[in-house]
Amino acid sequence: MQVYLVGGAVRDQLLGHPYQEKDYVVVGATPEQLLAQGYQPVGKDFPVFLHPSSKEEYALARTERKSGKGYHGFEFHTDVDVSLEQDLIRRDLTINAIAMDEQGKIYDPYHGQEDINNKILRHVSPAFAEDPLRVLRVARFAARYATYGFRVADETIALMKQLANSGELSCLTPERIWKETSRALMEPHAEVYFETLRQCQALKVLFPEIDVLFGIPQRPEYHPEIDCGVHTLMALQQACQANYALDVRFAVLVHDLGKALTPKDQLPRHIMHEERGLVPVTELCQRLKVPTNIRLLAQVVCKEHLKCHQLLQLKPGTIWRLLQRLDVMRRPERVKAFAQACQCDAKGRLGLEDRDYPQADYLLGAMQAVRDVKVQDIPKELQGSEIGEYLISKRIEAIAEFKKASALTE
């Protein structure tokens, strides 16, 4: 029995990239042998075991054969005679098909180290095109390793196009698409994920609402980059650079979907795009089964982001109604996330990436002024609806005082 460290841990160790998870492949062993040593079985489709003490995953070396559609459509074969090379060739990319034995010796039958040195994401074998999930995985790796200068090999893009145009992507479950996408959104260059999907023609299949934004013009005095799709990815890049949370990044991604629905005779203006965008944002979230809290932020950013840009000119009553729609009293964290997303929209524009966005701090200051109005201060003689009216008037008054104080300090 021989044990090898494989996959991401070896790849990232060679690259000098931080990693946490370790996966192992076991060659020349049977399930019974591992069970006898105290390993715990967890695999349903093929034998995967947890180490008795470390709880790390150990999988028996296996081969696979396409037997149906989708990424579940495979038959697996494990046996003591399955070699390390046979196990590695079924993996997606050469950089993921490297193994290391217990003495630290590297086994690299498919030249993954060479591709690491040349910063190339390349498929291991033509069998790559049998698994539609690999389109998303490669795009996610492109987003992760863009910092190091990696690009997807042309021949791998060609196979990804083949998968995108074959109908196989329809076999991916909404949960799996969202899992890969949410992970990609948290990478340092999430925009590269969507650029890669567009390059291989998968974006129009999986995210048609985003794909149609490319080529739609905007007014250059507000958007020097002009193209709506380019702006969307520039704004997403701002969210990544600021290391904002997943809900903010997703909201930024979908904030301008309504611009694809602007009547052509109105272009390059986009009147009421924030209202039009609610339908595609909601449909996208429902299709991918996006978690509720992420969907709610995406919807409110889509609908209200122009109000945030105009914040410094708004009256106190208008600001209060905006804060109400953001659920300021119960969800102050949503107000902060909303401000972050709007800031990314404002800065995700060609040549304006370093612009100041005082509206974000202004909104948070107004929120704090509102939240400082205490229920305990309500006069005891007030009853029923009078209480609510009093609180609203006091909150608007607090915003007015904050606005006045802010003007004095500017």
- Over residues 172-187, the pLDDT tens digits come to 999 999 999 999 999 9
Residue whose entry in the numeric block shows the structure tokens 């229920």? 375
Closest CA to 276 of 291, 299, 252, 258: 258
- pLDDT at position 68 is 57
Question: Is residue 90 a known part of a binding site?
Answer: no
- Answer whether residue 88 shows pLDDT above 60: yes
User: Over pLDDT 90: what percentage of the chain?
Assistant: 80
- Do residues 225 and 240 make contact, with C-beta atoms less than 8 angstroms apart? no
- pLDDT at position 46 is 66
Handedness of CA 128, 154, 17, 341 (dihedral sign): negative
Q: How far, in Å, CA of 337 to CA of 6, rounded?
A: 38
Question: Is residue 21 a known part of a binding site?
Answer: yes
Q: Which fold would CATH assign to domain 1-110?
A: Beta Polymerase; domain 2 (3.30.460)
Domain boundaries, the chain: 1-110
Q: Let me know how many helices (H) and strands (E) the chain has, helices first.
A: 19, 11
- pLDDT at position 226 is 97
Question: Is residue 108 a known part of a binding site?
Answer: no
- pLDDT at position 193 is 98
pLDDT-derived band at 296, boundaries 50, 70, 90: very high
- Do residues 172 and 135 make contact, with C-beta atoms less than 8 angstroms apart? no
- pLDDT at position 379 is 78
Question: Is residue 377 a known part of a binding site?
Answer: no
> What count of Cα atoms within 13 Å lies in the side-chain half-sphere of residue 129?
15
Question: Is residue 23 a known part of a binding site?
Answer: yes
- pLDDT at position 81 is 84
Closest CA to 107 of 30, 21, 2: 2
Q: Which residues have CB under 8 Å from 227's CB, separation 6+?
A: 213, 214, 215, 216, 217, 218
What tokens appear for 352 in the block?
């304006």
- Answer whether residue 74 shows pLDDT above 60: no
- Do residues 51 and 3 make contact, with C-beta atoms less than 8 angstroms apart? no
- pLDDT at position 410 is 54
- DSSP bridge partners of 74: 66
Question: Is residue 321 a known part of a binding site?
Answer: no
- Over residues 387-408, the pLDDT tens digits come to 878 889 999 999 999 999 987 6
- Over residues 111-129, the pLDDT tens digits come to 999 999 999 999 999 989 9
- Answer whether residue 105 shows pLDDT above 70: yes
Question: Is residue 155 a known part of a binding site?
Answer: no
Question: 50 φ, ψ to 5°?
Answer: -100, 135
- Whether omega before 332 lies within 30 degrees of 0, making that bond cis, reads no
- Answer whether residue 203 shows pLDDT above 80: yes
- Answer whether residue 242 shows pLDDT above 70: yes
Section 147-168 average pLDDT:
96
- Answer whether residue 43 shows pLDDT above 80: no
pLDDT-derived band at 79, boundaries 50, 70, 90: confident
Q: How far, in Å, CA of 306 to CA of 60, rounded?
A: 55
- Over residues 25-39, the pLDDT tens digits come to 999 988 889 889 999
- DSSP bridge partners of 41: 49
What tokens appear for 192 in the block?
């590269």
